[in-house]
Structure 1
Amino acid sequence: MPRRAQISLRPRLALLATAVALVAGFLAWPAADHAGAAPAAFTHPGVAVSRGQLDFARDKVNAGAQPWKGAFDQLKASKYASLSRTAKPRAVVECGSYSNPNYGCTDEREDAIAAYTTALAWYVTRDERYAKKSIELMDAWSGVIKDHTNSNAKLQTGWAGSSWPKAAEIIKYTYSGGWPNSARFAGMLRDVYLPEIIGGSHSNGNWELSMMEAAVGISVFIEDKASYDKAVAKFRGRVPAYIYLSSDGALPKAAPGSGLDTRDELVNYWQGQSTFVTGLTQETCRDFTHTGYGLSAISHIAETSRIQGQDLYPEVGERLRQALGFQAKYELGEAPPSWLCGGSVKRGLGPVTEVGYNALHNRLGHAMSNTEKLTLQNRPAGSNNLFVAWETLTHGDNPA
């Protein structure tokens, strides 16, 4: 029989030391509403960023206030805000592992980010050239794309599908100049993107979290309550299986339907990590970059749900807070102990802390010293060139 991995004394003590803080944290969270997630009527714009948040950012930029003015200057100087950008749509986007082969993968993701970037630029400046550019990019893809293929099809669809509805929400509900092909774009999201992602994935956790981010955003834009409920249900099952809390017991939770039911299987899925401490994620010992993808998707879904009237922060907030703080500590340079990832971590969390930090620290008042230090150090947060973009502008210290 395989030898069972043992939990060393030091992390046992660490678990005890955090227990009181965790209990206090849980007591501070209001009870979550577990009723059907979909609202009676969807709020627009309402994917990741609300009209109130957009107005706050716009007012701060126009007043020349920092960090929002600097964040917007960064946005405008980026390639994604270029008014001369030409879309590169494909009927079939083929993406293998790590985008090899890369037949339209980068083009699709970056055109989607550009559509969102120019939509934000429109909202802040009211220069309709940006709105027209965003529409041009969305129309180019909605008129061509039919499918995603190869081993990374689900993840690619999730990444691009996370940016498209954020752009579409802003344009459709704030630009009065007209968007004749908006129904065709909605059809693209409904028929090409949603079927690829709504079933989820049992790959690494960032896959399903990114896929559910896209599914939730798409469901808001096309006002599909059934898909919204299905995506949120998968999200609720995945988050506890992605971020460990000591209250979970000796082992992390398994995602529903994953089939992981032994210690060896769970340790293998958690990148060989056999010591579990609060804030550890399923991909911490893989690398912080992929961990950042998962944490970003969690914060985006939580923000969207809040805007849509059902606050999921009471349910996922403590896990997100602990995970952000745990990763931030080592991202800031602290040497990992020998029991964590063999004493070596691969840093590179990315620009993913603003949304969670603003929600959990600024809005809800929870202590997040490591996350705060990292967030302020990285401002203005730019784009990860996949599905995260301009979150100092949209969520930095944003009370709306």
Structure 2
Amino acid sequence: MRVLLHPVAITSVLILIVLSQPSFAQHASVERVPMVHPGIVMTAEQLDLMRDRINRGIEPQKSAFDVLKKDRRASKNYTPNTEHFEWGAGERDAQACWVQALMWSVTREEVYAENVLNILDAYSTLEEVTGKTKDLRIGLMGTMFMRGAETVKHTYPKWRPETEKAFMDMYDKAFMPTLMTRVEHENNWMSSITESLMATAIFKDDPELFDLAVYRLGIYLPTNIPLENGQPAELWRDIAHAEEGIGALIQTAEMARNQGVDAYGWLDNRMAKGMEYLGEVIDTKDDRFEKNYPLDVGWEIVYNHYHYRMGMEMPWTKNLVQTVRPEGLFRHTSLGTLIKGEMDKNRPVTISHWRLPIAYTGASYSHTLRRYGCTSPVEWVQEVEASLPSGLNLSSNGQVTGNIEAAPGVYKFVLKSSGTSCDPVSTTYYLPVKNLLPAAQVKASEPGLWYEYRTPHFGTDPGLDSFQSLATGSTPTFSFSVAEDEQYAIRFSGYLDVLADGSYSFQLGTENQSRLYIDDQLVVDHWMRDNRARIAWNQFDSKLGLKAGKHKIVLTVNNGNYDRHMLYGEWPSMRNLLEVQWKIPGTTSHVPIPQSALFNPGKF
């Protein structure tokens, strides 16, 4: 039986900005990091491999396809329900969009591709998604529509641009507002919305939207699996909802991998630990938990990655794979047996990612490359086609280090890795380089921060807009000491004194909803109503490149929009928590921002 633990720490993710800069000796080699199409869950290579395995009768794809063919969503005569605003019909039609695309991919019968286009045509007239659970519906349906559209758009010669335009005009109005918003329900809801956000970013070929989805994934991985032993946050609610949340993360991580980001490896393979934890609870029929049964949420997908690609042993997940095979389509997740089951057996991964972390012009940079499948030491060399950005060097053991001297942009270069126990592999990498944010031209010399206090708390986040305050004044640092009520909101504002150019990392821990802004940019977003989502605050950070000098800093804290007693009973360490931390260049850990770095200009 599993021992239940309390949370610990670590991780990282990113997002952000491009400003103009004077001329440099070296300029970017490509406009942006390219996106792979098709690339939502399945790439062209993976679609071809799936079709080949089915045609050759290779298991488990053959049996999984035989089952799918009998599903009504796979019918050649499938017709979308004209009452598509109704919940059950809408979800079924979205699923059919993906299923019909898979049928087209395997059979190459045009009727299936046309069915996908017909579904998109039918939904182009949708005005809005309604109902109490509309945000969840959008999260569940969006990824299905995007998967089907992405697959057919990039493989069917008769794709209709006019259908795409009409459907995406509807989608931008009815779906995108929810996908761009942090809804109040966390864990499985926001995991599903993040999955649809990433699928949408890939279909739209939108790198900024993709970066936002990666950022969100970095938040919701520790939110759903906050403990190092893999214990899910929704464990005590019930197993089914815990599976749904982690299942959405798995689908999203697979998309990210197709686009060169290794989210599977984050937090020391936390997704593997989460699925192993659930696998043991389900396989042993642990009667402490409600709804303890397996759902088709991607057991095959996660096992294919960690076991076949990465060589990890996952005994409990292996048991669940045998239980659910062939894995069906549960709401917005899986068909895992068909699309990934044993797909990478005898195809171990060599390179896990090719998008490198953001670098900043004028700042130091360090990143360690990894090559898998070698038992001997690996040697790295740079190919001659394109050079590293000026100021960076590659060591023979895979360390990319230096001080960036190149202009902002995206740099493309090819590196070769080899060892005595493994064949040489040449990989094309992409490194985004951005400008440091300039310091503000202000003369703020008074130490501390300005605060604005109000009661009751906010119903919704005001962002950086002004609001009617009950009291204002100065405070030495971020503190709840100015609060006089159980339900209140505080905004702290001032300037952060940065002593050196470089990449800074920020963490924010509060017992309540909060958002941290630097130079009017949202840097850390913990505006979560579900209090369980905040227990993992020190497992997520956000990086920002800053020039030396003073930078505007704003923190909004919203207290009282949740059941505090439930939080304290389960996580007493969260009581009155308010930690604003940074990691400065040249250091390895986060520490509280000192009072000496905060300056009060009065009200902005």
Do Structure 1 and Structure 2 share a fold, with TM-score over 0.5? yes
Separation (CA, whole Å) in 1 of partners of 2:92 and 2:237: 25
Among 333, 339, 345, the residue aligned to 1:388: 333
User: What is aligned with 2:63?
Assistant: 70
Separation (CA, whole Å) in 2 of partners of 1:369 and 1:163: 30
- SS of the counterpart of 2:177? helix
Counterpart mapping for 1:272-311 below 5 A: 278-311=229-262
Counterpart mapping for 1:91-110 below 5 A: 93=85, 104-110=86-92
Does the Cα contact within 8 Å between 2:201 and 2:209 map onto a contact in 1? yes
Separation (CA, whole Å) in 2 of partners of 1:234 and 1:57: 30
Among 355, 359, 370, the residue aligned to 2:301: 355
Give the C-alpha shift of residue 383 in structure 1.
Answer: 1.3
Give the C-alpha shift of residue 33 in structure 1.
Answer: 7.5
Separation (CA, whole Å) in 2 of partners of 1:34 and 1:314: 16
Matched residue type, 2:50: A
Does the Cα contact within 8 Å between 1:198 and 1:212 map onto a contact in 2? no
User: What is aligned with 1:365?
Assistant: 311
Give the C-alpha shift of residue 224 in structure 1.
Answer: 2.2
User: What is aligned with 2:381?
Assistant: none
Separation (CA, whole Å) in 1 of partners of 2:240 and 2:120: 28
- SS of the counterpart of 2:129? strand
Separation (CA, whole Å) in 2 of partners of 1:317 and 1:138: 40
User: What is aligned with 1:170?
Assistant: 151
User: What is aligned with 2:218?
Assistant: 236
Among 205, 229, 233, the residue aligned to 1:223: 205
User: What is aligned with 1:398?
Assistant: 343
Separation (CA, whole Å) in 2 of partners of 1:359 and 1:236: 19
Matched residue type, 2:190: E
Separation (CA, whole Å) in 2 of partners of 1:320 and 1:363: 15
Does the Cα contact within 8 Å between 2:15 and 2:212 map onto a contact in 1? no
Q: Deviations over 1:343-390 (max 9, x none)?
A: 344213311211111111111112210001111221111111x11242
Separation (CA, whole Å) in 1 of partners of 2:189 and 2:43: 25
Q: Deviations over 1:216-260 (max 9, x none)?
A: 1011111222222222212211211210324xxxxxxxxxxxxxx
Q: Deviations over 1:71-106 (max 9, x none)?
A: 011111101101222212458x3xxxxxxxxxx111
Structure 2: tracts of 5 or more residues without a match: 18-30, 348-604
User: What is aligned with 1:122?
Assistant: 104
Give the C-alpha shift of residue 310 in structure 1.
Answer: 1.8
Give the 3 Å change call, closer, same or farther, for CA 57–317 of structure 1 in structure 2.
farther
Q: Deviations over 1:174-211 (max 9, x none)?
A: 01123241222233333321211221223140000000
Separation (CA, whole Å) in 2 of partners of 1:317 and 1:211: 24
User: What is aligned with 2:193?
Assistant: 211
Separation (CA, whole Å) in 1 of partners of 2:82 and 2:267: 36
Give the 3 Å change call, closer, same or farther, for CA 177–374 of structure 1 in structure 2.
same
Separation (CA, whole Å) in 1 of partners of 2:130 and 2:32: 33
- Would you say 1:59 and 2:52 are equivalent positions? yes
User: What is aligned with 1:330?
Assistant: 281
Give the 3 Å change call, closer, same or farther, for CA 317–303 of structure 1 in structure 2.
farther
User: What is aligned with 2:527?
Assistant: none
Matched residue type, 1:160: M
Separation (CA, whole Å) in 1 of partners of 2:12 and 2:186: 27
- SS of the counterpart of 2:237? coil
User: What is aligned with 2:141?
Assistant: 160
Does the Cα contact within 8 Å between 2:39 and 2:202 map onto a contact in 1? yes
Matched residue type, 1:57: M
Matched residue type, 1:372: K
Separation (CA, whole Å) in 2 of partners of 1:39 and 1:48: 22
Calculate the TM-score normalised by the size of structure 2.
0.51
User: What is aligned with 2:94?
Assistant: 112
Separation (CA, whole Å) in 1 of partners of 2:66 and 2:37: 26
From the CA coordinates, give the structure whose radius of gyration is larger: 2
Matched residue type, 2:341: G
- Would you say 1:80 and 2:73 are equivalent positions? yes
- SS of the counterpart of 1:181? helix
User: What is aligned with 2:173?
Assistant: 191
User: What is aligned with 2:291?
Assistant: 346
Does the Cα contact within 8 Å between 2:15 and 2:215 map onto a contact in 1? no
Separation (CA, whole Å) in 1 of partners of 2:92 and 2:201: 22
Give the 3 Å change call, closer, same or farther, for CA 108–316 of structure 1 in structure 2.
farther
Does the Cα contact within 8 Å between 1:148 and 1:157 map onto a contact in 2? yes
User: What is aligned with 2:131?
Assistant: 150
Separation (CA, whole Å) in 2 of partners of 1:237 and 1:121: 35
Q: Which deviates more from structure 2 when the two are superposed, residues 205-214 or residues 375-384? A: 375-384
Structure 1: tracts of 5 or more residues without a match: 1-9, 94-103, 247-277, 337-342
- Would you say 1:137 and 2:119 are equivalent positions? yes
- Would you say 1:321 and 2:272 are equivalent positions? yes
Give the C-alpha shift of residue 15 in structure 1.
Answer: 6.1
Does the Cα contact within 8 Å between 1:39 and 1:308 map onto a contact in 2? no
Q: Deviations over 1:5-34 (max 9, x none)?
A: xxxxx94xx869xx9xx99xx9xxxx9885
Separation (CA, whole Å) in 1 of partners of 2:325 and 2:303: 13
Q: Which has the higher contact order (CA 8 A, sep 6+)?
A: 1
Matched residue type, 1:154: D
Structure with a larger share of its residues in helix:
1
Separation (CA, whole Å) in 2 of partners of 1:335 and 1:170: 40
Does the Cα contact within 8 Å between 2:15 and 2:211 map onto a contact in 1? no
Separation (CA, whole Å) in 2 of partners of 1:396 and 1:374: 13
Q: Which deviates more from structure 2 when the two are superposed, residues 181-190 or residues 364-373? A: 181-190
Give the C-alpha shift of residue 35 in structure 1.
Answer: 6.7
Does the Cα contact within 8 Å between 1:204 and 1:283 map onto a contact in 2? no
Matched residue type, 2:156: Y
Separation (CA, whole Å) in 1 of partners of 2:173 and 2:204: 11
Calculate the TM-score normalised by the size of structure 1.
0.76
User: What is aligned with 2:39?
Assistant: 46
Does the Cα contact within 8 Å between 2:194 and 2:217 map onto a contact in 1? yes
Paired residues, number:
329
Give the 3 Å change call, closer, same or farther, for CA 232–393 of structure 1 in structure 2.
same
